[in-house]
Amino acid sequence: MRYAMAIDTKKCVGCSDCVVACQIENKVPTGYCRDWVTETVYGAYPQLELELRSERCNHCDNAPCVRCCPTGASYIAEGGVVLVEASKCIGCGACIESCPYDARYSHPDGYVDKCTFCIHRVREGLQPACVAVCPTKCMYFGDLDDPSSDISKLLKTRKYKVLAPEAGTKPQVYYLL
């Protein structure tokens, strides 16, 4: 089992519903977020292109945050999902420094927090909160080891990219182009 997410940049309107749905679902304190939206503009008026991306932890196959964690608080759970065991976390911040995606933050309660792919929902057979709420249905979550999953099919037929491939982290959030 290999959980992954694909996000269709052709459909995303950058509304940030994924951000607020995550904050509410995961009780992320005000002022912090586990996912966020970026906007990149290419070209000059009027020859322009715009890419909107909903970003989050990439749940990397080769996760530097897990490797560098001195206490074992950061670990890889089922389906390759990268999680933090808050009770083991000493808040040293090594993982924050190691992440090329800036996907982790220090929670005011003293531990490091990040996207969990809403594993608590996935275990109940639900989609992650961001995927479930997205009004444009631009986000797909599923198992890459299952060739019949939507995400497997999309990655076979669509052009895509991942972020910072040069970091060698083997990220598992794919952006459909």
List contacts with another protein (CB under 8 A). Answer: 10-11, 13-17, 19-21, 23-33, 36-41, 43-46, 48-50, 52, 55, 83-87, 101-103, 107-109, 113, 116, 119-121, 124, 126, 132-138
Pick 21 or 144: Cβ nearer another protein: 21
DSSP lists the bridge partners of residue 50 as 41
Q: Give the nearest distance from C-beta 144 to another protein in angstroms.
A: 21
- Encoded tokens for 9: 């940049």
- Closest distance to another protein from the beta carbon of 42 (Å): 9
For the bound state, the minimum distance from the C-beta of residue 10 to another protein, rounded and expressed in Å, comes to 6
Residue 68 CB, shortest distance to another protein, in Å, is: 18
Choose between 20 and 68: whose C-beta lies nearer to another protein.
20
Residue 99 CB burial class (10 angstroms; 0-12, 13-18, ≥19): buried
Relative to beta strand 82-84, strand 74-76 is antiparallel
CA–CA dist 96, 19 (Å, integer): 20
d(CA 65, CA 68): 5
